[in-house]
Amino acid sequence: MTASPNETRTLVVEREFAHPPERLWRALTQSDLLAEWIMPNDFRPEVGERFEMVAEWGKVEGEVLAIEPLRSLSYRWNGPGLESVVHWTLDATPAGTRLRMEQTSVDGSRVARANAMCWRLGRVQTSVRPVDAAMK
């Protein structure tokens, strides 16, 4: 299937974690923990803040659009070949937290590049472990 240049596409990934929302929130909003599962960055969880995430293949520039502590986070994600908006939602469950990531791209033909975010979602677990240790 070929997408038109202005077609909007959304990639949605959900995963349940055996951790409370507070721990996952830290993994999504603390710069040092983000660096463990995405890439080095200067992220600050404040609406209007601009940030950069840097990797060997290039950098991503972003801007925090909305934040509801422990519940949701949205930011603009502009990297090589992909301009999108990423929205995270955390929902407490009896087993821990359901984490949902939606990445919407205006250029639908490039939404496949957002798959990098999908496989990294599983790496959130690595940044939750240090949070677990710090809270003990």
Note the pLDDT tens digit of each residue in 25-40. 999 999 999 888 888 9
Helix (H), strand (E) at residue 33:
helix 31-37
Domains and CATH numbers, the chain: 9-135 (3.30.530.20)
Query: Given this model, what pLDDT does residue 37 score?
Result: 84
User: Which comes out higher in pLDDT, residue 70 or 131?
Assistant: 70
Rounded distance between C-alpha atoms, residue 53 and residue 41, angstroms: 4
- For the record, the structure tokens of 126 come out as 């690595």
Tally DSSP H helices, then E strands, for the chain.
4, 6
Using DSSP bridges, classify how beta strands 9-17 and 50-55 pair: parallel, antiparallel or unpaired. unpaired
Query: Given this model, what pLDDT does residue 65 score?
Result: 99
Query: Given this model, what pLDDT does residue 30 score?
Result: 95
Query: Given this model, what pLDDT does residue 26 score?
Result: 94
Query: Given this model, what pLDDT does residue 133 score?
Result: 47
Query: Given this model, what pLDDT does residue 49 score?
Result: 98
pLDDT tens sequence across 63-105: 999 999 999 999 998 887 778 899 999 999 999 999 999 988 8
Query: Given this model, what pLDDT does residue 124 score?
Result: 60
CA geometry: angle at 9 spanning 7 and 15, to 5°?
180
CB 21, CB 70: distance < 8 Å: yes
CB 56, CB 135: distance < 8 Å: no
- Model confidence at 109: pLDDT above 80: no
Quote the percentage of the chain above a pLDDT of 70: 73
Query: Given this model, what pLDDT does residue 126 score?
Result: 59
